[in-house]
Structure 1
Amino acid sequence: MPAPFAASLCGFRPKNGNPNTSDNNDKGSIELGLALFEEMGVPEGQVVGDDPGANMEIAIVNDLQPHRSDLLIRRGPSALAFEQYAHLRVFPEFRRGHQDVMPHVEHLMRLASALPSSGPVDQLRTAIADAEEVFRGQDRMSERLKLYMPEESLLNLDITCASEQEAMEPILHLGLSSKWSLRTDRAQDCVSQGSKLASQRRGPMPHYAVITMEPRPAMLKILADGSGSVDYVYHLDLPALKRAMKKVRAQRRSNKWSPGDTFDRLLNQGRIRDYDQLVDAVKNIPKGLRPSVPEHAAEQVPPPHDSGSVGLTALS
């Protein structure tokens, strides 16, 4: 079953009349986009907002949240805001917060040196001198850490589904990379993000998938054809895309049509799924999962960016 809002996001570009899913320099993309819109029943000449990708994310969040009111379904938070990735915040926080303590120790020594000599004052000066050596060594180690420690970067997740825990980071159950349409670089970003989510986690791997309106099998193949970094590719209207592919294939003189063969293979592998299967995945997230890392393992949690309740103003 397609997403109930899918057709409302689709439109034609005023300048050239091409579908807003298409690459203007790719005739095949335009052909498939037109066939897809026809199967979806998108009114001819329909014009929508300039940012269908953002509107798609808003619509997805607003559609999924009622299915699981006990979960946090949001747009745009960093993976570092969740329990499985909170450890990746520790070194960046150290780097930002670290200060050279030597100026403070030297200030204490100047103050002690100005005091009249006495037994206690001499002991104080000796203690400060000993502390100076200790702190100097710690500062050297800190500088080496800042110089040589790698800083792993994770792109913000477009849509997240997580469960709250009292006084702890939320557990990330599902992360979506939302791409209205695809280019090679966009698809590779999704694969890279999934790979990092898998390799850098501590705890259970969240379900990571891409959701898109892209009609071209060649672009879908980058994400769905054997990449273990992406669980599935969810399409906003897979039934309409199947019909569009069949229609375009029928217009060919030969049944041997490479995009159609690629699409069939991805379908047979179960790598492309319809929107209602995403809804089912959210519904089936278990309730009351136990935390997988010790309590207070990472403090100073930045709150997830809450933009999931924004209305579909651009679609009105």
Structure 2
Amino acid sequence: MSISMAGDEGAILEDSLLGEGDVPAWLPELFAWKPTTPKNRRAVENTLKRNNLPNIADGSQRASLSIAGHLFERLGIEKVVSDDAEEADDDSLGRLLEEAVERDLSVSLSRECPHTAWGVRRNSKIWEFAQYSHIKNLKDAASRYPDVEEVIGGDYLIDPDVTVSLPGRYGTSLRAVVSCKWTIRSDRAQNVRHEFNSPIRARRGRAPHLVAVTAEPLPSRLSSLTQGMGEIDSVYHVAFDLINEAVHEYAPLRSRKNEPTQLDHWRKMTRSGRLRDYRELGGDILSD
């Protein structure tokens, strides 16, 4: 994680946290080649000329395989894992990404603002923060009165992946909510929107910065998060520069008529600022 600072150097804080290709130093440890399945084996072999695939790629999508393969090649990823390894399981990788983002933001924010009592945590309850403290009363009432639970539903039961908070006049104030998605499928995109609808609607006070962090390689999948009317403030990619490079080099043999290409998706998201470099996240939280 890095935060750009003003000055002649255009200084980058936390150089020690940057790895090869300007990705966070912890990121390559999460990357690995995983086994193919009978369903995707032919596509993987035809596209990558090998019998395993990147653990960020959709094995049935040539574009996903090509872009992810480029990233793995640039980073020199050689680790191959079995089906039962953490690096082959999206749920486990999602947890590992959460843990890495929690550590990263904690270090970066503390070094940038050492006299501020930043709270960066995983699995906080939403009602622990001042803007949402009233939700605890709703939860307690719902547990006693089923009719209340039926009316308000379960939206108050959100457990954010990573939260960033600050002490405030009326208690601990929630500054940012970070949803960590190792990869994105259409159902997961809708899950993030649902997660963020409740903090928007239920707040009593200032809304937190609502963002997603992902390693998804396919721009058309990323666009499912960047589109919409504001449930998600921004999406941050942990390997932004390398994906940018791969997308510009990826040239499919053909594209479907009247459909945007992967490069079209990428340009639209990045030019609008809806998709950003993960290294900008700390600075965006500070300036929010």
Tell me if both proteins adopt one fold, taking TM over 0.5 as the criterion.
yes
* CA separation of 1:172 and 1:147: change in aligned 2, threshold 3 A: closer
Cα separation, partners in 2 of 1:5 and 1:83, compared to 1, 3 Å: same
Aligned to 2:76: 42
Q: Give 1:192-211 correspondences, 5 Å limit.
A: 192-211=194-213
* 1:294 counterpart residue number: none
Partner of 1:57: 98
Between the aligned partners of 1:281 and 1:164, the Cα distance in structure 2 is: 19
- Distance of 1:236 and 1:173 partners within structure 2: 21
Say yes or no: does 1:83 pair with 2:130.
yes
TM-score, with structure 2 as normaliser: 0.74
Verify the 8 A CA contact 2:209 2:285 in the aligned structure 1: no
Q: Displacement, 1:7?
A: 1.8
Greater relative contact order structure (CA < 8 Å, 6+ sep): 1
Residue number in structure 2 paired with 1:111: none
4+ long deviations beyond 6 Å: none
Counterpart Cα distance in 2 of 1:224 and 1:217:
10
Structure-1 separation of matches of 2:178 and 2:150: 32
Residue number in structure 1 paired with 2:42 = none
Distance 1:229 1:146, change over 3 A: closer
Provide Cα deviations, 1:70-115, integer angstroms capped at 9, x if missing partner: 211011212222111121221221243x4xxxxxxxxxxxxxxxxx
For residues 116-131 of structure 1, what are the structure 2 equivalents within 5 Å? none
Aligned AA for 1:186?
Answer: R
Are the counterparts in 1 of residues 109 and 282 from structure 2 also a CA contact under 8 Å? no
The secondary structure found in structure 2 opposite 1:18 is strand
Measured after TM superposition, the shift of residue 148 of structure 1 is 5.8
Distance between the aligned counterparts of 1:44 and 1:252, measured in 2?
28
**1:88–1:152: 8 Å Cα contact kept in structure 2?**
no
Q: Which amino acid aligns with 1:3?
A: P
Task: Say if 1:92 and 1:151, in contact at 8 Å, map to a contact too.
Answer: no
Look at both structures and tell me which one has the larger radius of gyration over its CA atoms. Answer: 1
Partner of 1:186: 188
Alpha carbons of 1:94 and 1:17: their partners in 2 closer, same or farther (altered >3 Å)?
same
Residue 86 of structure 2: SS of its match in structure 1?
Answer: coil
3-state SS, counterpart of residue 149 of structure 1: helix
TM-aligned CA distance change 1:95 to 1:283, over 3 Å: closer
User: Which residue of 6, 15, 23 corresponds with 2:58?
Assistant: 23
2:230 corresponds to which residue? 228
1:8 and 2:29 correspond: yes
| 1:189 to partner: Cα distance | 0.7
2:262 pairs with one of 255, 259, 262: 259
The answer as to whether partners of 1:11 and 1:42 remain within 8 angstroms in 2 is no
Residue identity (%):
27
Q: Could you say what secondary structure the match of 1:170 adopts?
A: strand
TM-score where L is the length of structure 1: 0.68
CA contact (8 A) 1:224 1:230 kept: yes
CA distance in 2, matches of 1:55, 1:42: 21
Per-residue Cα deviation, 1:25-60 (whole angstroms, up to 9, x for no partner): 323222221122223x13234447332221111111
Q: How many residues align?
A: 236
* Uncovered stretches (5+) of structure 2, i.e. residues with no partner: 1-21, 37-50, 111-116
Give the distance between the partners of 1:227 and 1:148, measured in 2 at CA: 28
Give 5+ residue unaligned stretches, structure 1: 99-141, 286-316
Number of the residue aligned with 1:130: none
Aligned partners of 1:95, 1:232: CA distance in 2, in Å?
A: 33
* Conservation of the 8 A alpha-carbon contact between 1:245 and 1:260: yes
| Equivalence for 2:272 | 269
Query: What is the rounded CA distance, in whole Å, between the counterparts of 1:147 and 1:68 in structure 2?
Result: 38
Larger mean Cα displacement after TM superposition, 5-14 or 240-249: 5-14
Structure 2 residue matching 1:202: 3-state secondary structure: coil
Note the C-alpha offset of 1:172: 0.4
- 2:55 is paired with a residue of what secondary structure? coil
